[in-house]
Amino acid sequence: MTQAGPLTLAPATPLAPASGWLPRIGTLALLVGVGLLVLPPLLYLAAAAVKAGELGAVTIGSLAGLAFTTLSLATLATIWAMLLALPLAWLVIRTDLPFRTLCRWLAVIPLAIPSYIGAMSYIALLGPVGSVNTWLSALLGTPQQWVNIYGFWGGVFVLGVFTYPYIFLLVSAALEATNPAVEETARSLGDSPLGVFRRVTLPMLRPSMLAGGLLAFLYALSDFGSPSLLRVQVFTTAIYHQLNTRFDQAAAAMLSFVLVLITIAVLIGQHMLLHRRSYVTITGTARLARPLHLGRWRWPAALLAGMVLSLSVFIPLGVLLAQTGSLSHFLEVVREQGDYIKNSLLIAGLAATLAAILGLLIAFTARHTPPRIGALQSGTIQIGYAIPGTVLGLSLILLYNTYIPWLYGTVGVLVVAYLIRFLTQSVQGVDAALTGINPHLEEAARSLAASPWRVLRRVLAPLVRPTLFAVWALVFISAMKELDATLLLRPAGFDTLPVRVYIHTVEAEYARAAVMALLLIAFTALPWMVVARLREKKLV
Amino acid sequence: MTLIELSQVSLTYPHAAAPALSDLTLAVEEGATLSILGPSGCGKTTVLRAIAGFERPQTGAITIAGRPVCDAAHWVVPEERGVGMVFQDYALFPHLTVAENVAFGLQRLEKAAAARTVAQTLDLVGLSGFEDRYPHELSGGQQQRVALARALAPKPIVLLLDEPFSNLDPDMRGQMREEVEDILRLTCTTSVLVTHDHDEAFAMADRVAVLNHGRLEQVDTPEAIYHTPATPFVANFVGQADFLLGRVDNGKLHTEVGIFENVGGHPAGVAVEIMIRPDDVHIVPASPGGARIVGRQFRGSENLYTMLLPSGQHLHSSESSTTVYPVGTLVDLKIVATHIVTFAKR
């Protein structure tokens, strides 16, 4: 023992005057900042819509027609997605389907293919000047339009094919988590396998079907890219049309306002439905159900699974590869469009970095503010996520054009749009990670005289570092894929990969669009694999 | 000199039906160790958290070294209270080395001075040479030492220990208890130790405060807590106790097993309970005895016998395990009570 004499009783450092745990000003600044980011565009939009209502720029009849088309499209696309997802999920989780692990892995790939790329690939295949029409005309010697993907049913088809993974993911997770003992009990009580499915399994899956279906529905409701490319008149495309062709901002605001109201109604419905029902409970020993032997139905089932995966993965990717053609063509397009690639990477990287930093700060302060203020803040951030990209683009144009013209038409406004749309991904991810940290660590640091900033920098940030990488990657992926708001907000000449895919498709330059689409998928797949790897190691 | 003072502290957690602490008044003397003892959920950890500043009582006042840190007019945040805390799960920073953990609270010291303090403190807890290890590379006992070193390094006014030994193996526990006691004495550290283990409280504390349902039952020396418990709850919690019915007559306390001094000064005629500990009861086999052995628990060095008295009351006796009386043996009882404790009949 080298300690000479007793340690003195006086603390090592003079005690600072008493003050609030979190510097109030910092919390307030974040709160106001988030509020200013998200709310003014929406409020301004509402004001513009009310003014437009007085002008009568949009007739009630056209509004009702648009609402009918939009809602039918979203509803039918959701039903179609449900039909694709449910059998596949059941086959993959509960039966001895051949290649079931591979199927499960492939089934989520469509999430990496934005619906406008899906639409592009099907247009290249089945459009008026698509491959099928070209082949058939050549084969039969009569130039004629045999198939046409354009229109309402094409929209339903494409949206369903590229949103079914939302349902598939939730339903397969629920199928995996249900306690097989419940189903076995029903069997022992004399129910047939089909009866068990109808009376036990299906009711238990209803909450996850509902949750997945609502995600698909909201996606279809707010999507601009695929309806626009497939020439379906819905709210988002009508807004774009009013803004870019007719230059009628008031009408666009009116339409946006109605779309936001519909979205909010759906969200409220979702909240009420999902909070009333409890999810399937996972019991202590989550034993997997013994896979059902399909017997002679094994290969017909495999054919069905193969068809779903063909529609959503093999055909679109095959079309993209076929359209790209040779490596030299690929490289030529890359060289020609190098600037756009750089734009995409730069702006997505910037948005992701800011989102990760802000996400950490917001999640941390939210834990130290009264619950009601924290809920207000997270609610505000989630509103940003729920606004359709086209509407957000319009709101920012209206607001920033009027009040912050120096920001309008710069890359900055794009970053703002991405933050509004994707900040919630980062906040929720970091918040979940912070919840997983032993609260005693923070208390230990505080009892060791650490300031909030020091606690965050020295203890919490290093501990959630894998999560910060993961949310960075998630926001990066989302921002890379963003088309709807980017199309409206990008500075002149500042195109991104999605914008190029869109423009080339509109101009029927499918070979170029395919190269840009493949690049986009590659750039988003890479960070996705990093996230998946982190998830595997239970780091996220 | 009183270093920590809690006066009339009450705390109710949000959405809780009952208060976690009600009207608690406690004092800790400089250089002393106070142990807060009680069953789980009695509010003992809440006391520590209120002293440390992690919970804010709704009413009452707390002062640390004469400085009001919590009352109607003052609130001092944890990082400005100068208290050290050792958590039950140690709460070591998993991404920092042992030396970095210990240095964490020394950020206001110069680098050289901080390094010197880290070395001194690690030496004090016997972990010199472990500076560059990470917490997950240490055994439970070593982690405990790091937690202690980290809390002691900034020379806190008071050290708060929350069930510090409960995560250790039983044989490690005794050793760590002695070591920690030595370190606290050597550094003249004032400390508050929360535990549910009365042996631990008795062994380490100068004074013990027994808590039940957020209320203070008794605060006294370990000996007084054991021998002269203030309430039946304390009597039961700190060791085995039987309560035999008695009646005051002629200034004496008459019970089934003998006549005792009426120490409580109970009035004549009231029903009284007298507390008898098994080590005060000795048994002698007898043929037509008044009591019969109905149970025996072997406890290593001793046997604990359960006797049925003629009235139907039960009484326990601990006897050396060198002789064994089988169940069914009729016995005479000899009560050698060093301290007579009585309560009015509940």
Answer yes or no: is A40 within a domain.
yes
Q: Give the Cα separation of B59 and B11 in Å (integer).
A: 7
CA A153, A157, A158: angle at the middle one, nearest 5? 120
Q: Give the Cα separation of A450 and A210 in Å (integer).
A: 46
- Of A419, A436, A442, which is closest to residue A358 (Cα–Cα)? A419
Answer yes or no: is A480 within a domain.
yes
- What is the three-class DSSP state of B142? helix
Answer yes or no: is A62 within a domain.
no
Q: Give the Cα separation of A123 and A128 in Å (integer).
A: 8
Chain A residue with CA closest to B184: the answer is A6
A1 vs B105: CB contact, 8 Å cut-off?
no
pLDDT (tens digit, 9 = 90+) per residue, A375-389?
Answer: 777 777 877 888 899
A1 vs B124: CB contact, 8 Å cut-off?
yes
Domain tally, chain A: 1
Rg (CA), chain A: 26
The CATH number given to whatever domain includes residue A478 is 1.10.3720.10
Pairing of strands B190-195, B158-162: parallel
Please enumerate in sequence order all residues whose Cβ is within 8 A of that of A133, keeping only pairs 6 or more positions apart, or say none: A126, A127, A144, A145, A146, A147
B102: which chain A residues are within 8 Å (Cβ-Cβ)? none
Cβ contacts of A64-72, under 8 Å, gap ≥ 24? A66/A233, A66/A234, A66/A235, A66/A238, A66/A255, A67/A235, A67/A258, A67/A262, A69/A152, A69/A232, A69/A233, A69/A234, A70/A221, A70/A234, A70/A235, A70/A259, A70/A262, A71/A221, A71/A262, A72/A152
Answer yes or no: is A360 within a domain.
yes
Residue pair B60/B10 in contact (Cβ under 8 Å)? The answer is yes
pLDDT of residue B41: 87
Chain A residue with CA closest to B94: the answer is A463
- What is the three-class DSSP state of B76? coil
A500 to each of A116, A158, A352, A519, B258, how far by Cα in Å? Answer: 11, 20, 21, 11, 101
In this prediction the pTM is 0.81
pLDDT of residue A21: 52
B76: which chain A residues are within 8 Å (Cβ-Cβ)? 15, 18
pLDDT of residue B50: 95
Q: Give the Cα separation of A154 and A230 in Å (integer).
A: 7
pLDDT (tens digit, 9 = 90+) per residue, B20-35?
Answer: 999 999 999 999 999 9
Residue pair A517/A117 in contact (Cβ under 8 Å)? The answer is yes
CA B308, B313, B317: angle at the middle one, nearest 5? 55
> Is residue B149 pLDDT above 90, yes or no?
yes
DSSP summary character for residue B75: B
pLDDT (tens digit, 9 = 90+) per residue, B94-143?
Answer: 999 999 999 999 988 999 999 999 999 999 999 999 999 999 999 999 99
- Locate all alpha helices (DSSP H) within A189-314, ordered by sequence: 193-196, 202-222, 225-229, 235-244, 249-276, 298-309
Answer yes or no: is A371 within a domain.
yes
Q: How far is CA B254 from the centre of its chain?
A: 33
B157: which chain A residues are within 8 Å (Cβ-Cβ)? 9-11
Among B106, B109, B120, select the one facing A3 at the smallest CB separation.
B120
Among A7, A15, A463, select the one facing B80 at the smallest CB separation.
A15
Residue B157, CB-side half-sphere exposure with 13 Å CA sphere: 26
B334 to each of A139, A463, B227, B261, how far by Cα in Å? Answer: 116, 64, 18, 16
A483 to each of A496, A502, B52, how far by Cα in Å? Answer: 8, 8, 52
A454: which chain B residues are within 8 Å (Cβ-Cβ)? 107
Rounded to 10°, the helix A510-536/A465-481 angle is 160
CA distance B195 to chain A (A): 18
Domain that holds residue A387: 16-53+324-540
Question: Residue A394: what are its φ and ψ, rounded to 5°?
Answer: -60, -45
Which residue has 């250790």 as its token pair? B168
Answer yes or no: is A131 within a domain.
no
Among A7, A12, A448, select the one facing B189 at the smallest CB separation.
A7
- pLDDT above 70 covers a percentage of chain B that reads 99
A196: how many CB neighbours lie within 10 A of its CB? 18
pLDDT of residue B16: 86
- What is the three-class DSSP state of B241? coil
Q: Give the Cα separation of A179 and A184 in Å (integer).
A: 9
Structure tokens at B244: 């035999």
pLDDT of residue A19: 41
Residue pair A149/A122 in contact (Cβ under 8 Å)? The answer is yes
Structure tokens at A540: 């996220």
CA B77, B80, B86: angle at the middle one, nearest 5? 90
Q: Give the Cα separation of A70 and A388 in Å (integer).
A: 13
Beta bridge partners of B61: B7
- Of A408, A429, A415, which is closest to residue A353 (Cα–Cα)? A415
Handedness of CA B85, B88, B89, B90 (dihedral sign): positive
Q: Give the Cα separation of B20 and A171 in Å (integer).
A: 43
Answer yes or no: is A454 within a domain.
yes
Residue A119: exposure state from Cβ atoms within 10 A (0-12, 13-18, ≥19): buried
Q: For chain A, which residues lie within 8 Å of any Cβ of chain B, measuring from their own Cβ? A: 1-3, 6-13, 15-21, 438, 440-441, 443-451, 454, 458-459, 462-463
Answer yes or no: is A276 within a domain.
no
A6 vs B81: CB contact, 8 Å cut-off?
no
Q: Give the Cα separation of A249 and A296 in Å (integer).
A: 61
CA distance B189 to chain A (A): 8
Residue pair B64/B83 in contact (Cβ under 8 Å)? The answer is yes
Beta bridge partners of A439: none
Q: Give the Cα separation of A380 and A171 in Å (integer).
A: 29
A436: which chain B residues are within 8 Å (Cβ-Cβ)? none
> Is residue B302 pLDDT above 60, yes or no?
yes
Q: In what order do the strands lie in the sheet with B258-261?
A: B258-261, B252-255, B242-249, B271-276, B341-344
pLDDT of chain A, 540 residues: tens digit per residue: 333 333 333 333 333 333 445 556 667 777 777 777 777 777 777 777 777 665 555 677 788 899 999 999 999 999 999 999 999 999 998 888 999 889 988 998 888 889 999 999 999 999 988 899 889 888 888 777 888 999 999 999 999 999 999 999 989 888 887 777 777 777 778 777 778 878 888 888 888 898 889 889 999 999 999 999 999 999 999 999 988 888 888 888 888 888 888 888 888 887 777 665 544 444 444 455 677 788 888 999 999 999 999 999 999 999 999 999 899 999 999 999 999 999 999 999 999 999 999 999 988 988 887 777 777 777 778 778 888 999 999 888 888 887 888 887 889 999 999 999 999 889 888 988 898 888 899 999 999 999 888 999 999 999 999 889 889 998 999 999 999 999 999 998 899 999 999 999 999 999 999 999 999 999 988 887 777 777 776 655
Residue A296: exposure state from Cβ atoms within 10 A (0-12, 13-18, ≥19): exposed
CA distance A474 to chain B (A): 25
Among A9, A447, A462, select the one facing B83 at the smallest CB separation.
A447
A419: how many CB neighbours lie within 10 A of its CB? 24
Which residue has 């958290």 as its token pair? B49
